[in-house]
Structure 1
């Protein structure tokens, strides 16, 4: 069996970035991958401005002195001229008047008879955000391959950039398999089950920002499977759930092998040991196991990696972890195991509570949890021992 890290490295080596780019408005760039380094076209701020409401003056200002207040400077106003030996009322975000270099907070002064007085020394530059304090013209704001988030969007927007070059969206074909599957809302019939993996994967892919170009439930019919796989090969990535094991009814496996190749990898992982990786007419193919939790975990670890690699992200499949203690003792099995957990507070301390039944067929465990905790193989963990926790929220879910 191969480790999760070995499989991820294999995917990164095997899959090549698409290399196709487009420009999008900055407000539509969250979740996209930057295709070129982005540099600042101007200083931010473009000129010194006040950090808070107060009084602008020329420093240094010695405690116990006072100055006459000669006017007001609002945010958005062109900078006024401040004569020596005077102060000006100023508001948060306003440009400093010409001749001023210091701002005294309004909480630190008294104003009487048109004069402002302060009782503590104020150094030159206090209360001022200097020109270029945030970014400098020509500075690299974000590197190529950066996955843009809301904070980064704010940084880009602060420089006045209206659009950014990004990798085009990855096109994914999503196929689930089996004559037994019903779509939600269809009348129930004996021997049938409602398709959960398909809608779940569709939601996960949508959260990843991909374009789902084909969505189909494949019947147990080799002719139909062949036709759907040929259509799916026009995408950048094919993802399936179920139908790729060595069973007699696993017709997708045969269909993939007829049009390309397929490898079955046994991964040193629970849940999600079986994973099929291959290609259909040259298009990368990932066949996920059929149990819902196994589908979910292998999507997070491997499909995300493939999508990120295709999009040119510099850290494909990024997996943020946080060390947190377990609320109860736990024993590890023969493989590393991602258990479904949620954070609880006990005596003011955040701990991880595990779902009582870790069966890989229980979708209720995923709906209950807010993340996954990694239990090493053969571990003997006591309550309070620390494990690696990954929050679903940190993965964009």
Structure 2
């Protein structure tokens, strides 16, 4: 879990299917979600050696040790002349030896000579420095077919020389277990001569995603009076996919408990989690609450703004989470509760970088709630975007950070430090 929040309380009470009169703390609900998902997601799967091309996005099952040094030999950092630095002290021109192209295995450099050397080429034995060609007199490589001399300035030993193992030494840990393999990490393994990686070969979690509500219609269709386009499906589908989840799209379901119940029961046996949006509050037509009436699902309030109403439990034995229906509430709920659990239980790194930032302007927060505001972070300062409302999708889209004002903090003055998660 992100370190900015208070430590989670352990354990989770028995599901009651009714909203508790006392709001649950954010940390307690984080632990409840983690506990709910531990069984379906904690199986790491056997370690498997997969080709690098198939290992992208997977997690290293064990440490990888460098079998060779990088670079494996001393090489030139510049196009220039490989020299013995002591030969430059007299200030006399040096005869030019055979050039050393990249990939060649040159012989030793004779004392008092200079060898044209290309970037990345192996340094001749005896040479301890490189003088860039533009600093030579004349400032060019001579014709290889003719005898030539070059005048070079005094240069310290080691100048423009990449020493063996200066990147990583043979036997050192190249990547630790738990590393997510992206292009840079796979590139390192390839540079070390490896063709496979030991990864956790567990399938991606499968999540059934269902948006609910008579008031929403699919984007791209006609918009009748009193209706809005559904953003939750797109927001959460993208967030789940970004977290490495296989999304089973249940589409939009109207406020009909029977339809929702049938859809969930059809898919529940084949997924690890059922996730719904909307229908979890105290209104008269809370379809998710109605559909879960015979299931061990808790509908409760978390002391958080936005995202207070939450549902958690199981449906037909499958883990179930119900997020509120406002788009900002849905995404904040995902970032606060589901993404951290997915990352932790799958052995992935902390999902969002955490920074301390100066607040650009004063803001008020309910003292009995953990408020999550949207903001723009830059150069140590965070500026709030939009208000606390859970419907402000444009403000969400303009943000690059979630700003946390913990329960009990109340007003925060301009210039005070706050915790922000970078998106």
Give the TM-score range, shorter chain: 0.7 to 0.9
Counterpart pick for 1:87 among 105, 110, 114: 114
CA shift, 1:60, in A, is 5.0
User: Partner residue of 1:8?
Assistant: 30
Residues 189/55 of structure 1: CA separation in 2 closer, same or farther (3 Å cut):
same
Runs of 4+ in structure 1 deviating by more than 4 angstroms, as ranges, are 21-25, 27-30, 59-62
SS at match of 1:71: coil
User: Partner residue of 2:230?
Assistant: 195
Q: Are the aligned partners of 1:233 and 1:280 in contact in 2 as well (CA < 8 Å)?
A: no
Report which of the two structures shows the higher radius of gyration computed on alpha carbons. Answer: 2
Instruction: Specify which structure has the higher proportion of strand.
Output: 1
The answer on 1:374 being equivalent to 2:404 is yes
Q: Are the aligned partners of 1:291 and 1:360 in contact in 2 as well (CA < 8 Å)?
A: yes
Residues 176/369 of structure 1: CA separation in 2 closer, same or farther (3 Å cut):
same
CA shift, 1:276, in A, is 1.9
User: Partner residue of 1:341?
Assistant: 375
Question: What per-residue deviation string (whole Å, max 9, x for no partner) do you get for residues 172-208 of structure 1?
Answer: 2111112333111122224433211111111212222
Query: Hey, what's the Cα distance between the residues in 1 that align with 2:282 and 2:387?
Result: 28
Counterpart pick for 1:52 among 78, 87, 90: 78
Q: What does residue range 161-310 of structure 1 map to in structure 2 within 5 Å?
A: 161-164=194-197, 165-166=199-200, 167-230=202-265, 231-256=267-292, 258-259=294-295, 261-310=296-345
TM-score, L = length of structure 2 = 0.80
TM-score, L = length of structure 1 = 0.84
SS at match of 2:115: strand
The answer on 1:70 being equivalent to 2:97 is yes
CA shift, 1:241, in A, is 0.9
Query: Hey, what's the Cα distance between the residues in 1 that align with 2:172 and 2:322?
Result: 43
The answer on 1:364 being equivalent to 2:394 is yes
SS at match of 1:381: coil
CA shift, 1:277, in A, is 2.0
Q: Are the aligned partners of 1:82 and 1:88 in contact in 2 as well (CA < 8 Å)?
A: no
Count of equivalent residues? 383
Q: Are the aligned partners of 2:375 and 2:402 in contact in 1 as well (CA < 8 Å)?
A: yes
Where do 5+ consecutive residues of structure 2 fail to align? 1-22, 140-146
Question: What per-residue deviation string (whole Å, max 9, x for no partner) do you get for residues 215-251 of structure 1?
Answer: 3322333443233223134112222111233545333
Query: Hey, what's the Cα distance between the residues in 2 that align with 1:49 and 1:249?
Result: 72
The answer on 1:319 being equivalent to 2:345 is no
Q: What does residue range 115-154 of structure 1 map to in structure 2 within 5 Å?
A: 115-123=149-157, 125-154=158-187
User: Partner residue of 1:19?
Assistant: 44
CA shift, 1:13, in A, is 4.5
CA shift, 1:339, in A, is 1.3
